[in-house]
Amino acid sequence: MNIMSSVALLTGATGQDGSYLAELLLDKGYEVHAIVRRSSTPNISRIDHILNHPSLADSFHLHYGDISDGEQINKILQTYQPDEIYHLGAQSHVKVSFESAEYTGNITGLSTTRILEGMRNVKKKTRMYQASSSEMFGGAASPQNEESSFIPRSPYACAKLYGYWMVKNYREGYNFFASNGILFNHESPRRGENFVTRKITIGAASIVAGKAKMLALGNLDATRDWGFAPEYVEGMYQILSHTTADDFVLATGKTHSVREFVDEVFAYIDLDVDAHVTVDPRYFRPTEVESLLGDARKAKGVLGWKPRVSFKDLVKIMVDADMRKMGLSVIGEGDEILAKHFPNKWWMGD
């Protein structure tokens, strides 16, 4: 353990964003601690490569814990006294939140209070990042920025809004350095398989591989502001490195429908959408967020944060990765985009 390193504590390190963020912080020389829940099947596939890395593994420490367990969070905070906490752990699936509303409130909402309360017992001035979400805007008019109304349209969005306000309250009430990153959708080859972008890229690759014939989706008309996840974790780091605690929207400023995402994926690998895509009402939500479009001018102006990967680029990166994972030959434009925008790529592999 290097005594001079800054210490970061992550929740959600086994997820898409947490795995990229762990790599980013380790690359910057941090000692990284992660709270990981015990599961009967392995849940560390996204961070396995870090745990086996010859030079990074020694600075990366996993601790069993659940973000429903305030006592364990307290213990870990007391023991490791982190300089920075990135609270990314959540039940993060919007559709699931309608089926598990109370659970989502507990995990996605109340966990933020557990972290903030734990911080009251830490002696040093710890900085805390809260993974807030564009879902909180819900039905608000586009484009959405830090001044927009919040009109949450799911139990998930309500839980995230609770966490958002707790962060603001502790910042004002206790002078905490606690910041909300209000992130619009961001995707990658590590995206969970039941979010729509990844479901589409895996679905298309499975059709090419002859493993599936059809891809069933829900609402194709919803639009989202989709960016590339590694750029968004860079933004998280910049938010906590800023001189003052504040709230920032991170987004690309472009919105596209689910249908456009399908069209782009299928065109890239020369598949016929009509022959393979169906709509199944099982995937509809009781209340839908029809359109999200972010205005990230504040993050650009104050932090200098600006995403480089376009919608079309994102599609190619994700399709190439899923084709490769299925042992298929790849077109390779995604690899070229990564090489162009990230010549000194700090994350490892897909």
Which residue's Cβ has the minimum distance to ligand NAP?
15
Q: Judging by DSSP bridges, how do beta strands 227-228 and 186-187 pair with one another?
A: parallel
Binders in 122-151 for ligand G4F, by CB under 6 A: 133-135
> Whose CA is closest to 185, among 10, 13, 14, 17?
17
Binders in 86-125 for ligand G4F, by CB under 6 A: 92, 94-95
At 149, the amino acid letter reads S
Is residue 195 involved in binding ligand G4F (CB under 6 A)? yes
**If you search the block for the tokens 């000194």, which residue do you land on?**
344
- Smallest gap from Cβ 164 to ligand G4F, in A, equals 12
Cβ closest to ligand G4F, residue 14 vs residue 134: 134
> Whose CA is closest to 17, among 91, 86, 109?
86
**Would you give the distance in Å from CA 311 to the centre of its chain?**
17
User: 231, 186 in Cβ contact below 8 A?
Assistant: yes
- Smallest gap from Cβ 115 to ligand G4F, in A, equals 18
- Report H helices in the chain: 16-27, 48-51, 70-80, 94-99, 101-104, 111-119, 155-174, 196-208, 229-241, 258-268, 273-276, 297-298, 311-325, 333-341
- For residues 37 to 66, the per-residue mask of contacts with ligand NAP, x marking binding by CB under 6 A and - elsewhere, is x-x---x----------------------x
- Candidate list 24, 67, 289, 319; residue touching ligand NAP; CB under 6 A: 67
Cβ closest to ligand NAP, residue 63 vs residue 276: 63
For the chain, how are helix, strand and coil distributed in percent, rounded to 5? 45, 15, 40
At 221, the amino acid letter reads D
339: Cβ contacts below 8 Å, ≥ 6 apart: none
Number of shown-chain residues binding ligand G4F (CB under 6 A): 22
**If you search the block for the tokens 């015990």, which residue do you land on?**
38
Q: Cα–Cα distance between 42 and 51 in angstroms, integer?
A: 13
Is residue 196 involved in binding ligand G4F (CB under 6 A)? yes
- Smallest gap from Cβ 282 to ligand NAP, in A, equals 21
- Smallest gap from Cβ 339 to ligand NAP, in A, equals 24
- Candidate list 85, 88, 161, 265; residue touching ligand NAP; CB under 6 A: 88
Is residue 258 involved in binding ligand G4F (CB under 6 A)? yes
- For residues 60 to 79, the per-residue mask of contacts with ligand G4F, x marking binding by CB under 6 A and - elsewhere, is --------------------
- Candidate list 12, 118, 163, 218; residue touching ligand G4F; CB under 6 A: 218
Cβ count near 104 (within 10 Å): 25
Cβ closest to ligand NAP, residue 107 vs residue 215: 107
Q: Cα–Cα distance between 91 and 107 in angstroms, integer?
A: 6
Residues of the shown chain interacting with ligand NAP in the complex, contacts defined by CB under 6 A: 11-12, 14-18, 37, 39, 43, 66-68, 88-92, 107, 131, 133, 183, 185-186, 192
Residues of the shown chain interacting with ligand G4F in the complex, contacts defined by CB under 6 A: 92, 94-95, 133-135, 184-185, 194-196, 199, 217-219, 222, 224, 258, 283, 285, 288, 292
